Structure 1
Amino acid sequence: MQFVIVGTGGQGILFASKALGHIAMEKGRSVVGSEVHGMAQRGGSVVSHFKVGEYLSPLVKVGEADVLLAFDQNEAVRNLHYLRDGGTLVVNLYDPEVFRNDRLQRSLERRNIEVHPIGGYSILKEHMGGRFLFLNVLILGAMCGAGVGGVSVDEMNQAIRDLAPARFVEENLKVLKLGYEAAR
Structure 2
Amino acid sequence: MKPYNIYISGVGGQGIIKTSTVIGEAAMKSNMPVVMSEVHGMAQRGGGVSTELKIGDSYSPIIEKGSSDILISFEPVEALRATPKISNKTSVIVNESSIYPFNLRESEISYPDIEIIIEELNNKSREVFVVDANKIAIESGHPLSMNMVMLGSATAINGFPLKKEIIVDSMKANLPKNSLDINLKAFESGFNFVKA
What's the TM-score, normalizing by structure 1?
0.88
CA gap 1:148/1:133 in 2 versus in 1, 3 angstroms:
farther
Q: How far apart, in 2, do the equivalents of 1:114 and 1:16 lie?
A: 22
Identify which of 108, 121, 132 aligns with 2:122.
108
1:176 — aligned with what?
A: 187
How far the C-alpha of 1:8 sits from its partner, in A, is: 0.2
Deviations 1:47-101 (A, max 9, x none): 1111111111111111111111101111111212211331110110137x84533
The answer as to whether partners of 1:4 and 1:68 remain within 8 angstroms in 2 is yes
Say if 1:107 and 1:160 are closer, same or farther in 2 by CA, change over 3 A. Answer: closer
Q: Using the TM superposition, give the Cα deviation of residue 152 of structure 1 relative to its aligned residue in structure 2, in angstroms.
A: 2.8
Which residues of 2 match residues 81-160 of structure 1 at below 5 A?
Answer: 81-94=84-97, 98-101=113-116, 105=119, 108-109=122-123, 111-128=124-141, 131-160=142-171
Gaps of 5+ in 1: none
Q: Distance in 1 between matches of 2:121 and 2:44?
A: 33
Counterpart-to-counterpart distance in 1, 2:136 and 2:31: 34
Q: Tell me, yes or no, if the aligned pair for 1:88 and 1:148 is still in contact at 8 Å.
A: no
Q: Give yes or no for contact 2:86–2:125 (8 Å, CA) kept in 1.
A: no
Unmatched segments (≥5 aa) in structure 2 = 99-111
Q: Verify the 8 A CA contact 1:153 1:180 in the aligned structure 2.
A: no
Root-mean-square deviation (Å): 2.0
**Does the Cα contact within 8 Å between 2:30 and 2:162 map onto a contact in 1?**
no
Residue 12 (str. 1) matches residue 15 (str. 2): yes
Change beyond 3 A, Cα 1:15–1:148: farther
- Count of aligned residue pairs for this structure pair: 179
**Hey, which bits of structure 1, 4+ residues long, moved more than 6 A?**
none
Distance 1:183 1:168, change over 3 A: same
Sequence identity percentage = 28
